Amino acid sequence: MFWLLSGHSMVKVLVDVDCGVDDASAIMMALADPEVQLLGITCVNGNTSVENVCRNTLRVLKACRRPEIPVFRGASRPILGNVLMAEAFHGKDGLGDVPDPDAPGLELIQKEGAVEAMIRIANEHAGEVSLVATAPLTNLALAVRLDPTFPKKLKGLYIMGGTTEARGNTTMCAEFNFAADPEAAYIVLNDFPCPTYIASWEFTCMNILSWDFYDQWLDQDSEKARFMKQIFQYSRDVSQRQLGEAGFAFCDAFAMAAAIDKSFVTECEEVPVTVELAGTYTRGMMVIDRMSYLKKEHKAFILQKVDMEKFKTLFMKALE
Amino acid sequence: MFWLLSGHSMVKVLVDVDCGVDDASAIMMALADPEVQLLGITCVNGNTSVENVCRNTLRVLKACRRPEIPVFRGASRPILGNVLMAEAFHGKDGLGDVPDPDAPGLELIQKEGAVEAMIRIANEHAGEVSLVATAPLTNLALAVRLDPTFPKKLKGLYIMGGTTEARGNTTMCAEFNFAADPEAAYIVLNDFPCPTYIASWEFTCMNILSWDFYDQWLDQDSEKARFMKQIFQYSRDVSQRQLGEAGFAFCDAFAMAAAIDKSFVTECEEVPVTVELAGTYTRGMMVIDRMSYLKKEHKAFILQKVDMEKFKTLFMKALE
Amino acid sequence: MFWLLSGHSMVKVLVDVDCGVDDASAIMMALADPEVQLLGITCVNGNTSVENVCRNTLRVLKACRRPEIPVFRGASRPILGNVLMAEAFHGKDGLGDVPDPDAPGLELIQKEGAVEAMIRIANEHAGEVSLVATAPLTNLALAVRLDPTFPKKLKGLYIMGGTTEARGNTTMCAEFNFAADPEAAYIVLNDFPCPTYIASWEFTCMNILSWDFYDQWLDQDSEKARFMKQIFQYSRDVSQRQLGEAGFAFCDAFAMAAAIDKSFVTECEEVPVTVELAGTYTRGMMVIDRMSYLKKEHKAFILQKVDMEKFKTLFMKALE
Amino acid sequence: MFWLLSGHSMVKVLVDVDCGVDDASAIMMALADPEVQLLGITCVNGNTSVENVCRNTLRVLKACRRPEIPVFRGASRPILGNVLMAEAFHGKDGLGDVPDPDAPGLELIQKEGAVEAMIRIANEHAGEVSLVATAPLTNLALAVRLDPTFPKKLKGLYIMGGTTEARGNTTMCAEFNFAADPEAAYIVLNDFPCPTYIASWEFTCMNILSWDFYDQWLDQDSEKARFMKQIFQYSRDVSQRQLGEAGFAFCDAFAMAAAIDKSFVTECEEVPVTVELAGTYTRGMMVIDRMSYLKKEHKAFILQKVDMEKFKTLFMKALE
Q: How confident is the model at residue B88 (pLDDT cuts 50, 70, 90)?
A: confident
User: Of the candidates D262, D264, D197, D252, which has an alpha carbon nearest to the alpha carbon of residue D29?
Assistant: D252
A contact chains, 3+ CB pairs < 8 A? B, D
Give the chain B residue nearest A273 (alpha carbons): B172
In DSSP notation, D193-236 reads -S-EEEE-HHHHHTT-EEHHHHHHHHTSSSHHHHHHHHHHHHHH
Q: Where are the alpha helices (DSSP H) in chain B?
A: 2-5, 21-32, 50-63, 87-90, 114-124, 138-146, 176-180, 182-191, 201-205, 211-218, 223-237, 251-260, 308-318
Per-residue model confidence (pLDDT) at position B226: 97
Interface contact A278-B279, CB threshold 8 A: yes
Contacts of residue D6, Cβ cutoff 8 Å, sequence gap at least 6: none
Q: How confident is the model at residue A99 (pLDDT cuts 50, 70, 90)?
A: very high
Contacts of A80 in chain D (CB under 8 A): 183, 186-187, 277
Return d(Cα A90, Cα A224) in angstroms, integer.
19
Q: How many domains does chain C have?
A: 1
Return d(Cα A161, Cα A140) in angstroms, integer.
14
User: Of the candidates B183, B140, B142, B173, which has an alpha carbon nearest to the alpha carbon of residue B159?
Assistant: B140
Per-residue model confidence (pLDDT) at position B2: 43
Per-residue model confidence (pLDDT) at position D242: 80
* Chain C positions with Cβ closer than 8 Å to D: 163-168, 171-173, 274, 276-283, 285, 287-291, 293-294
Return d(Cα A83, Cα B147) in angstroms, integer.
43
Return d(Cα C270, Cα C299) in angstroms, integer.
6
Give the chain C residue nearest B78 (alpha carbons): C145
Q: Per-residue pLDDT for chain D (320 aa), expressed as one digit of tens each?
A: 344 444 447 999 999 999 999 999 999 999 999 999 999 999 999 999 999 999 999 999 999 999 999 999 999 999 999 888 777 778 899 999 999 999 999 999 999 999 999 999 999 999 999 999 999 999 999 999 999 999 999 999 999 999 999 999 999 999 999 999 999 999 999 999 999 999 999 999 999 999 999 999 999 999 999 999 999 999 999 998 888 888 999 999 999 999 999 899 999 999 999 999 999 999 999 999 999 999 999 999 999 999 999 999 999 999 99
Q: How confident is the model at residue B109 (pLDDT cuts 50, 70, 90)?
A: very high
Per-residue model confidence (pLDDT) at position D3: 41
Q: pLDDT digits over B257-302, tens only?
A: 999 998 999 999 999 999 999 999 999 999 999 999 999 999 999 9
Distances (CA, A) of A110 to A14, A40, A45, A156: 15, 10, 17, 25
Write down the mean pLDDT value for chain B. 94
Interface contact C138-B145, CB threshold 8 A: yes
User: Of the candidates A49, A235, A14, which has an alpha carbon nearest to the alpha carbon of residue A133?
Assistant: A14
* Number of neighbours of residue D130 by Cβ within 10 angstroms: 26
B242: containing domain:
2-318
Per-residue model confidence (pLDDT) at position A241: 85
User: Of the candidates B35, B14, B306, which has an alpha carbon nearest to the alpha carbon of residue B158?
Assistant: B14
Name the residue facing B280 among A173, A276, A290 (closest C-beta).
A276
User: Of the candidates A106, A93, A42, A39, which has an alpha carbon nearest to the alpha carbon of residue A66?
Assistant: A39
Q: What is the CA radius of gyration of chain C?
A: 18
Question: Which residues, listed in sequence order, are joined to residue B209 by a DSSP beta bridge?
Answer: B248
| Cβ(C80)–Cβ(B188) below 8 Å | no
Tell me how far the alpha carbon of residue A310 is from its chain's centroid.
19
Question: What's the average model confidence in pLDDT over B81-90?
Answer: 80
Task: Looking at the complex, report in whole angstroms how far the Cα of residue B5 sits from the nearest Cα belonging to chain C.
Answer: 38
Contacts of B80 in chain C (CB under 8 A): 183, 186-187, 277
Task: Looking at the complex, report in whole angstroms how far the Cα of residue C230 sits from the nearest Cα belonging to chain B.
Answer: 33
How far separated are the first and last CA of chain C, in Å rounded? 18
Phi, psi for residue D104 in degrees, rounded to 5: -65, 150
HSE at residue B228, side-chain half, CA atoms within 13 A, is 28
Return d(Cα C16, Cα C41) in angstroms, integer.
6
CATH code where residue C48 lies: 3.90.245.10
Give the chain D residue nearest C284 (alpha carbons): D279
Residue D266: DSSP 8-state: E
Tell me how far the alpha carbon of residue D182 is from its chain's centroid.
16
- More confident call, C303 vs C243: C303
Interface contact A289-B172, CB threshold 8 A: yes
Does residue B150 register a pLDDT over 60?
A: yes
Q: pLDDT digits over A139-194, tens only?
A: 999 999 999 999 999 999 999 999 999 999 999 999 999 999 999 999 999 999 99
Per DSSP, the three-state class of A252 is: helix
How far separated are the first and last CA of chain D, in Å rounded? 18
Question: Which residues, listed in sequence order, are joined to residue D158 by a DSSP beta bridge?
Answer: D132, D197
Contacts of D163 in chain C (CB under 8 A): 166
Per-residue model confidence (pLDDT) at position A102: 93
Does residue B5 register a pLDDT over 90?
A: no
Return d(Cα B129, Cα B139) in angstroms, integer.
16
- Determine how β-strand C300-306 pairs with β-strand C265-271: antiparallel
Contacts of A280 in chain B (CB under 8 A): 276-279
Q: pLDDT digits over C159-180, tens only?
A: 999 999 999 999 999 999 999 9
Q: What is the CA radius of gyration of chain B?
A: 18
Per-residue model confidence (pLDDT) at position C90: 83
The packing angle between helices A251-260 and A308-318, to 10°, is: 100
Q: How confident is the model at residue A245 (pLDDT cuts 50, 70, 90)?
A: confident
Instruction: Enter the pTM of the model.
Output: 0.95
Does residue B73 register a pLDDT over 50?
A: yes
Return d(Cα A132, Cα A129) in angstroms, integer.
9
Does residue C2 register a pLDDT over 60?
A: no
Distances (CA, A) of C105 to C22, C38, C163, C249: 22, 21, 36, 30
Return d(Cα D164, Cα D173) in angstroms, integer.
9
Return d(Cα C8, Cα B305) in angstroms, integer.
68
Write down the mean pLDDT value for chain A. 94
In chain C, DSSP assigns E strands to 11-17, 36-43, 71-73, 129-133, 154-160, 196-199, 209-210, 247-248, 265-271, 273-275, 286-288, 300-306
Return d(Cα A250, Cα A90) in angstroms, integer.
12
Give the chain D residue nearest A183 (alpha carbons): D80
* Chain B positions with Cβ closer than 8 Å to C: 75-77, 79-81, 113, 115-116, 138, 142, 145-148, 183, 186-187, 190-191, 277-278
Chains C and D form CB pairs within 8 A to the count of: 75
Chains A and B form CB pairs within 8 A to the count of: 74
Per-residue model confidence (pLDDT) at position D2: 43
CB < 8 Å & 24+ apart, contacts of B208-213: B208/B245, B208/B246, B208/B247, B208/B248, B208/B249, B209/B247, B209/B248, B209/B249, B209/B308, B209/B312, B209/B315, B210/B246, B210/B247, B211/B240, B211/B247, B211/B248, B213/B247, B213/B312
> What is the longest distance spanned by two Cα atoms in chain A?
56
- More confident call, B151 vs C3: B151
Interface contact B77-C148, CB threshold 8 A: yes
User: Of the candidates C120, C295, C299, which has an alpha carbon nearest to the alpha carbon of residue C193?
Assistant: C299
Which of D167, D172, D283 is the best substitution to test chain C (most C C-beta atoms within 10 A)?
D172
Contacts of A167 in chain B (CB under 8 A): 165, 290
Interface contact B280-A277, CB threshold 8 A: yes
Return d(Cα A143, Cα A156) in angstroms, integer.
15
Per-residue model confidence (pLDDT) at position A3: 41
Task: Looking at the complex, report in whole angstroms how far the Cα of residue A197 sits from the nearest Cα belonging to chain D.
Answer: 21
Per-residue model confidence (pLDDT) at position B245: 86
- A147-160: b (≥16 Cβ within 10 Å) or e: beebbebbbbbbbb
Q: pLDDT digits over C54-87, tens only?
A: 999 999 999 999 999 999 999 999 999 988 877 7
Q: pLDDT digits over C189-231, tens only?
A: 999 999 999 999 999 999 999 999 999 999 999 999 999 999 9
Per-residue model confidence (pLDDT) at position B243: 80
Residue type, D217: W
| Cβ(B16)–Cβ(B74) below 8 Å | yes
Task: Looking at the complex, report in whole angstroms how far the Cα of residue B122 sits from the nearest Cα belonging to chain A.
Answer: 33
Q: pLDDT digits over A291-315, tens only?
A: 999 999 999 999 999 999 999 999 9
Per-residue model confidence (pLDDT) at position D232: 96
Return d(Cα A14, Cα A156) in angstroms, integer.
10
Per-residue model confidence (pLDDT) at position B35: 95
Per-residue model confidence (pLDDT) at position D1: 38
User: Of the candidates C138, C239, C245, which has an alpha carbon nearest to the alpha carbon of residue C181?
Assistant: C138
**H or E stretch covering B12:** strand B11-17
Q: What is the CA radius of gyration of chain A?
A: 18
Q: pLDDT digits over B293-320, tens only?
A: 999 999 999 999 999 999 999 999 999 9
Return d(Cα C29, Cα D221) in angstroms, integer.
67
Name the residue facing D279 among C282, C290, C293 (closest C-beta).
C282
User: Of the candidates C66, C43, C11, which has an alpha carbon nearest to the alpha carbon of residue C227?
Assistant: C66
ipTM > 0.90 for the complex: yes
In DSSP notation, A178-215 reads HHH-HHHHHHHHHH--S-EEEE-HHHHHTT-EEHHHHH
Distances (CA, A) of D148 to B3, B122, D307: 77, 61, 35
Name the residue facing A172 among B163, B279, B289 (closest C-beta).
B289
Does residue C4 register a pLDDT over 80?
A: no
Interface contact D80-A187, CB threshold 8 A: yes
